[in-house]
């Protein structure tokens, strides 16, 4: 079964689909074991894990490689951020093929000018709507299965206003987008207007610290959203935890007071895949 078929089935059900942001194999495997219906490979998080800001600096090769690691190392369907498609229409064709081959359930493409910017930071500009329509048409024609879903994101709200963002969403849905992502609405009222405007599945971007209010699950459902992504929640929590324990190490010179706060070492060995190593060594012991 194509991984996108699982996501399509989830969309056909009821209730809000909560998708935690994952950015490396540790975050992906932890989330994968918790029963979420879908995961979200965050471009912001992947870029940060490479030591880069989310400003169009991570390459297609780096992003597609991380998508393959995450998708092939987990059982949960993954929506994968592909930024602007990493170039023009020919680049986008390669990106769609690469992400589908990587095992993604869905590819997210946005209408920013390359190099892009994180959707909750200043300085974003968008390409003409017609150019993005062509990108979506190319993506739809390139995918090998209709179950490989296309998420069309518009960043028009911040610079051009909500009306233009809604018009673009309409055009992108007509062009073949399966899911719409109207980025960075700035109030609950704007989110309600987005929810009333469309009858296709909508993504709510719950970017902690960003421009959009973080709303309870029930309210997001009431507003008409089908998927809520939490792209940086895990990343920010990880950074906070590292800051705390490294601070203790610096101040005290030991981890002896931190044991209750640490992920158990034996569980982490299993998370990292050591059970497969141990099983292999039992089947194929080294000769004395």
160-174 per-position pLDDT tens digit: 999 999 999 999 999
Residue 252 located in a structural domain: yes
Judgement on whether residues 182 and 269 belong to the same structural domain of the protein:
no
| Cα angle for residues 246, 248, 253 (degrees, 5° grid) | 95
Judgement on whether residues 193 and 252 belong to the same structural domain of the protein:
no
Considering only residues 148 and 118, tell me which one the structure prediction assigns the higher pLDDT.
148
Query: Which of 181, 173, 94 minimizes the C-alpha distance to 139?
Result: 94
Residue 288 located in a structural domain: no
Instruction: Please determine, for residue 214, whether its predicted confidence score (pLDDT) is greater than 90.
Output: yes
pLDDT of residue 155: 95
In angstroms, the CA 83 to CA 43 distance is: 7
pLDDT of residue 117: 76
Task: Identify how many contiguous H helices and E strands the chain contains and give both numbers.
Answer: 13, 8
pLDDT of residue 119: 62
| Cα angle for residues 199, 202, 206 (degrees, 5° grid) | 155
Overall pTM surpassing 0.85 (yes/no):
yes
pLDDT of residue 123: 72
Judgement on whether residues 119 and 260 belong to the same structural domain of the protein:
no
For the chain, the average pLDDT equals 95
Judgement on whether residues 139 and 248 belong to the same structural domain of the protein:
no
Judgement on whether residues 116 and 209 belong to the same structural domain of the protein:
yes
Give the rounded percent of residues in the chain with a pLDDT score beyond 90: 93
Judgement on whether residues 244 and 146 belong to the same structural domain of the protein:
no
Place of tokens 């190099």: 115
Judgement on whether residues 50 and 178 belong to the same structural domain of the protein:
yes
pLDDT of residue 288: 57
pLDDT digits over 85-128, tens only?
Answer: 999 999 999 999 999 999 999 999 999 998 787 767 777 899 99
Judgement on whether residues 140 and 225 belong to the same structural domain of the protein:
yes
Sheet holding 106-110, edge to edge: 179-182, 149-154, 106-110, 78-81, 39-41, 17-22, 227-230, 203-205
Structural domain including 254 reads 240-283
Judgement on whether residues 65 and 181 belong to the same structural domain of the protein:
yes
Q: Domain total for the chain?
A: 2
């Amino acid at each position: 079964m194509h991984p996108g078929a699982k996501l399509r089935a989830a969309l056909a059900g009821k209730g809000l689909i909560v998708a935690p942001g994952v950015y490396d194999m540790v975050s992906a495997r932890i989330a994968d074991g918790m029963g979420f219906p879908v995961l979200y490979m965050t471009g912001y998080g992947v870029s940060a894990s490479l030591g880069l800001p989310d400003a169009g600096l991570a390459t297609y090769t780096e992003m597609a490689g991380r998508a393959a690691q995450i998708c092939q190392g987990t059982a949960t369907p993954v929506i994968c951020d592909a930024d602007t498609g990493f170039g023009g229409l020919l680049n986008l064709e390669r990106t769609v093929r690469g992400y589908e081959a990587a095992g993604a359930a869905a590819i997210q493409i946005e209408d920013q000018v390359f190099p892009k910017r994180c959707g909750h930071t200043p300085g974003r500009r968008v390409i003409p709507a017609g150019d993005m329509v062509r990108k979506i048409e190319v993506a739809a024609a390139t995918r090998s299965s209709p179950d490989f879903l296309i998420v069309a994101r518009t960043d028009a709200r911040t610079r051009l206003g909500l009306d233009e963002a809604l018009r673009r969403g309409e055009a992108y849905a007509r062009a073949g987008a399966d899911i719409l992502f109207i980025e960075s609405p700035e109030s609950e009222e704007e989110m309600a207007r987005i929810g009333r405007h469309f009858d296709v599945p909508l993504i709510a971007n719950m970017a902690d610290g960003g421009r959009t209010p973080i709303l309870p699950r029930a309210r997001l459902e009431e507003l008409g959203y089908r998927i809520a992504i939490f792209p940086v929640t895990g990343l920010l929590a990880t950074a906070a935890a590292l800051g705390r324990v490294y601070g203790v190490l610096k101040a005290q010179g030991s981890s002896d007071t931190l044991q209750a706060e640490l992920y158990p070492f034996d569980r982490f060995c299993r998370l990292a895949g050591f059970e497969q190593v141990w099983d292999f060594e039992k089947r194929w012991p080294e000769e004395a």
